[in-house]
Amino acid sequence: MKLLRSLPCIAAVGIAVLSSSCIRGLRVEMRQPVDRLAAVGTTKFETVAADTVNTPWTSGNHIEILVNGDEIFPSMLNDIKSAKKSICFETYLFIEGKMASQFVSAFCERARAGVKVHVILDSVGGMSMGDDNYERMIKAGVDVKLYHPLNLRNLLRFNVRDHRKIMVIDGKTGYSGGCGVADFWMGNAQSPKHWRETHYRLTGPVVAQLQENFNENWVKCGGKSLSGIAYYPRLQRTGKVKAQAYTASPIDKNYAIPHIYRQAMASARKSIVIKNSYVFLDRPMMKAVIDARKRGVHVEMIFAWEHTDAWPIRHLSIYQYHKLLKAGVHIYEYRPSMIHCKVMVIDELFSIIGSANIDPRSLYINDESNVNILDESFAKQQLDIIANDKLDSQRVLKPPFFWNPVTIPSRAAVTVIAPQL
């Protein structure tokens, strides 16, 4: 009965938050117009993209694609164990279990060996990390910061979560993508209990940008700004990939991610392929997709199916199917397990990877961290992986049902009740 009495309050808060986010999206769109003449593959697009995310391009990078926990976790743990000077780790979700214990043990061993270990955990996403894990790190000398813990003097700030996923080892090796630390990321997506994920290992000059992105929130959490060779060594070219790593922090009026998403779609001339775990398009994002289809751009989107941890997003995505299908968007639902990837590929050349979902919370509330890649070979690898995922997906040819006004309360509540993974 208490829950029933509280539902109107939850709905009211949800309406206020979502309305605020949607209004903010329209305002951001007005303040940050896109350049529709800057086609992907042109020098003009490179300039516009750099201006959009306020980050220069770096050349000479190498990016290794890690598919599912069987590849992701061994790579991350091996790099942590090999650290000589510094470890910087930032994530949203850190849940007690086998993987959390392994990460904590690796952090503690390196800290005792004299390596400077810095960990940022979101105070909500890290709530289930386990007291023992936290105490082990503190005792070993790991410097742990919690992002936006509950503070009665600033409740609105508590709604802003740190959704970034960044790791940097010795200032030379970086990681970005969608993977947190929890046992359901283990395995190879072989069952609904094992999530489908893609994460990325980066080397080359772009790692300095990842390090700076970590440093940004480290200082926000009360840490001393990181500097010196342990964090910013001279970086050599390790490949041929052009990339830029950047952040979004709406609380600081940094809306780089919704801006680059809209710019990328406006710059598409041939194709837009999106694979994302949580998609709920606000008006500017929906307009970007529809406008691309009107120009004849082929658009594909892979959504989560019933194996999802965020039923509100799944529910709301379905209500947008009819509009997308009417515009000619190809929609697929991944069937074997929860799909948690966050990838966009434009014109088989420009790719966006990182932590950001395509929903109001990621776009206009949370702190996020993405990487743009301008490389044909990398884009082809992404598309090959997506093509393989499509073999395990079912194409949606007809919307299950149409939008109607009855759905407004559930649509409004999504940014409050939906998980932020």
Same-domain check for residues 347 and 254: yes
Is the residue at 6 inside a domain? no
Query: Domain check: are 48 and 124 in the same one?
Result: no
Residue type present at position 162 = D
Q: Exposed (0-12), middle (13-18) or buried (19+): which is 371, by Cβ within 10 Å? A: buried
Q: Are residues 193 and 155 in the same domain?
A: yes
Residues making up the chain, counted from first to last: 421
Q: Which two tokens stand for residue 55?
A: 């980050």
Give φ, ψ of 36 to 5 degrees.
Answer: -75, -10
Say if residue 311 is in the same domain as residue 368: yes
16, part of any domain: no
Residues 317, 322, 328, 334: is their CA dihedral positive or negative? positive
The pLDDT, as a whole number, for residue 39 is 98
Query: What does the alpha-carbon distance between residue 358 and residue 179 come to, in Å, rounded to a whole number?
Result: 16
CA 409-414-418 angle, to 5 degrees, is 145
- For residues 67 and 204, state if they share a domain: yes
Distance set, CA 58 to CA 53, 65, 126, 165 (Å) = 13, 19, 33, 20
Which pLDDT score, from 0 to 100, does residue 6 have?
Answer: 38
- DSSP for 197-229, written as a single string: -EEEEEESTHHHHHHHHHHHHHHHTTPPPP-ST
Give the end of a domain, one of 189, 211, 239.
239
Q: CA gyration radius for the chain?
A: 21
The pLDDT tens digits along the chain (421 residues) read 333 333 344 334 444 455 456 667 788 887 899 999 999 999 999 999 999 999 999 999 999 999 999 999 999 999 999 999 999 999 999 999 999 999 999 999 999 999 999 999 999 999 999 999 999 999 999 999 999 998 877 777 888 999 999 999 999 999 999 999 999 999 999 999 999 999 999 999 999 999 999 999 999 999 999 999 999 999 999 999 999 999 999 999 999 999 999 999 999 999 999 999 999 999 999 999 999 999 999 999 999 888 777 667 777 888 899 999 999 999 999 999 999 999 999 999 999 999 999 999 999 999 999 999 999 999 999 999 999 999 999 999 987 765 555 455 555 554 444 545 5
Task: Verify that 270 and 133 share a domain, yes or no.
Answer: no
Angle formed at CA 284 by CA 279 and CA 285, multiple of 5 degrees: 30
CATH number, domain at 321? 3.30.870.10
Q: What is the pTM of this model?
A: 0.91
Are the CB atoms for 351 and 343 separated by under 8 Å? Answer: yes
Both 207 and 248 in one domain: the answer is no
Q: Residue 55 has what DSSP assignment?
A: -
SS (H, E, C) 115-149: CEEEEEEECCCCCCCCHHHHHHHHHHCCEEEEECC
Residue 5 covered by a domain: no
CA atoms within 13 A on the CB side of 382: 31
What pLDDT is stored for residue 97 in this prediction? 98
Phi/psi region, residue 218 (left: phi>0; alpha: psi -120 to 50; beta: rest), is alpha
Residue 15 lies in a domain: no
Structural domain of 109: 62-239
Q: Report which of 339, 342, 363 is spatially closest to residue 262, judged by C-alpha positions.
A: 363
- Considering the domain architecture, whether residues 218 and 310 belong to the same structural domain is answered as no
Answer yes or no: do 210 and 309 share one domain. Answer: no
- Smallest CA-to-CA distance from 137 within 97, 171, 109 is with 109
The DSSP element (H or E) to which 294 belongs, if any, is: helix 283-294
How many domains does the structure of the chain reveal? 2
239: number of Cβ within 10 Å: 18
Residue ending a domain, among 192, 217, 239, is 239
Residue 128 placed within a domain: yes
Give a yes or no: residue 9 inside a domain.
no
**Cβ atoms within 10 Å of 74's Cβ, excluding its own:** 12
Please report whether residue 7 resides in a domain. Answer: no
Q: Are residues 267 and 227 in the same domain?
A: no
Pairing status of strand 173-177 against strand 166-169:
antiparallel
pLDDT at 413: 52
One domain for residues 200 and 254: no
Claim to verify: residue 117 and residue 140 sit in the same structural domain:
yes
- On whether residue 265 sits in a domain, the answer given is yes
The residue among 186, 217, 239 that closes a domain is 239
